[in-house]
Amino acid sequence: MATITPADDFNAEQMSEKLRKAMKGLGTDEKSIIAALTSISAEQRQEVKATFKTMYGRDLIDDLKSELGGNMEDVTVQLMMGPSEHMAYSLRSAMKGAGTDESVLVEVLASATNAEVIAAREKYSELYSRDLEKDIMSETGGHLRRILVSLVQGNRDESEDVDEDKAAADAAALKEAGEGCIGTDESEFNRIFMTSSRAQLRAVFDKYREISKYDLRRIVEKEMSGDLEFAFISLIETARDVPTYFAERIYRSMAGAGTDDDTLIRCVVGRAEKDLAIIQEKFLEKYSKHMSTMIKDDCRGDYERMLLKICGQ
């Protein structure tokens, strides 16, 4: 369930006037900006961007950037993106500059539907004049590269049908490739995970628990490390339940010393019109703490207010 939905009484001209008034003259009315942008959907925000430019001859995003700063600017700019643009932006940001944040590539691609991946791939090319698959190929390596290249095709099996016999055979093959041998046969893990639907993978996980004293996630944690471990855990958890996966991602962004604001913003904004209300329920179930409480503890000022408003608080 989404926390942000389309406004029934939406008027792009009135919304543009509100935003211009909030940024005109001395000082900025951040509370009005927060209230306005969180009261309409991403699609409606795209209308506002176009209308704002027509009415004032100004670029709304440039104006927001000039009036805001820090994390408040980041969350607002991302909120102004459409879904495929936000995915493309997240992927490009993960690979731009020195080093690559492989965990972001995995999170974005493993949690997406085929249609979302294809739309993001097209938007990536449109925005950056670059090929997403080629960028992934150049920025990653080994078995992780193979997983990401498989995911970026946007061609995963999305059927809900389950073959119990195949699930049993794949569970046995995974056991042999992991705890059943010296070292780990990652290619066998890759084959099974990339050719199975989420429903089929859930059946594989159940069959695995019948033949091992360990859960498959525990085996991955024991047998693998680093980004490859994170990739397979992400594939396991998104197959089980996407909202629970994001509850964990958001929790880890705030747990311990400091806050991973990039992850917090990306996940909250990216899930706001999909399942952020469900994510908050899963968060409470899993950690016995409200997500909004952790946001209040970790964030401050307008940034905190914007995140809470996106969360429906």
Q: What pLDDT is recorded for position 85?
A: 98
CA 250 from chain center: how many Å? 10
Where are the strands (E) in the chain, listed by range?
none
Q: pTM for this structure?
A: 0.95
- What is the secondary structure of 143-209 as a DSSP string? HHHHHHHHHHT----------HHHHHHHHHHHHHHTTTSSS--HHHHHHHHHHS-HHHHHHHHHHHH
Which pLDDT value is given to residue 304?
98
Phi-psi region of 140 (alpha: psi -120 to 50; beta: other; left: phi over 0): beta
- What's the rounded Cα separation, in Å, for the pair 193 and 205? 11
Is residue 39 packed enough to be buried (19+ CB in 10 Å), middle (13-18) or exposed (0-12)? middle
Q: Is 285 helix (H, G, I), strand (E, B) or coil?
A: helix
CB 103 within 8 A of CB 141: no
Instruction: In whole angstroms, give the CA distance from residue 238 to residue 221.
Output: 16
What is the rounded distance in angstroms from the CA atom of residue 263 to the CA atom of residue 108? 11
Tally of CB atoms within 10 A around 233 = 19
Enter the DSSP assignment of 212: -
Q: Would you state the pLDDT for residue 142?
A: 93
Mean per-residue pLDDT pooled into runs of 10, the chain (313 residues): 96 98 92 98 98 98 97 98 98 93 98 98 98 97 95 96 97 90 85 96 97 94 94 98 98 94 98 98 98 97 98 95
pLDDT at position 96, please?
A: 94
